[in-house]
Structure 1
Amino acid sequence: MLEIRRSCEHCDKDIPFDATAVFICTFECIYYKECVTTILHNTRSNCEGNFTKRQFVRNDY
């Protein structure tokens, strides 16, 4: 099962559960969109994994 991490792996800023500008890499690390696009340039340097937008699942029931 996917572990919901609470902070960006790059800048260590807290990430709220309902944040939408968040990406996840192949190895389930999470990052703010700003870190992915401006600093990491869409590539994980240590594992060369890919990023995808993290899915947000609403729990309204």
Structure 2
Amino acid sequence: MLELRPNCECCDRDLPPESAEARICTFECTFCAHCAESVFAGRCPNCGGGLVARPIRPADKLIRNPPSTIRVLREGDCLAQRVPHSAVA
């Protein structure tokens, strides 16, 4: 079961369960679409895997399977790691 983490690990933007802006890797590292593309060029900085759209859990399933409330943040200034615009696919 996906954790549905509540925030972007880079900029700490809120990513509620219904957010179409959430991106995850196979280890569920979670980033907003902006950071996933403009900072990490679609690759997870933790494992190197691809960042893809996180599935949206139907609202009626959230009651029995709630999202995580634990916020995860990368150490340091990950926004300083931005990739040049030309490198973003």
Q: TM-score, normalised by structure 1?
A: 0.81
- Looking at structure 2, the residues matched to 18 and 60 of structure 1 have their Cα atoms a distance apart, in angstroms, of 12
What stretches of structure 2 of length at least 5 have no aligned partner?
Answer: 62-89
Gaps of 5+ in 1: none
The structure richer in strand per residue is 1
* TM-score, normalised with respect to structure 2: 0.59
Alpha-carbon deviation of 1:54?
A: 0.7
Divergent runs of 4+, >4 A:
none
In the TM superposition, 1:1-61 aligns within 5 A as 1-60=1-60
Please list the CA deviations of residues 4-43 of structure 1 after superposition, one character each: whole Å capped at 9, or x if unmatched.
2111111112212211111111211111100011111111
Whole-angstrom distance in 1 between the partners of 2:22 and 2:46: 19
**Count, aligned residues:** 61
Point out the structure with max Rg over C-alpha.
2
RMSD: 1.7
Conservation of the 8 A alpha-carbon contact between 2:15 and 2:21: no
In 1, Cα distance between equivalents of 2:11 and 2:5: 13
Q: Which amino acid aligns with 1:43?
A: R
> Contact 2:29/2:44 (CA < 8 Å) preserved in 1?
no
The structure showing larger relative contact order (alpha-carbon pairs under 8 Å, at least 6 residues apart) is 2
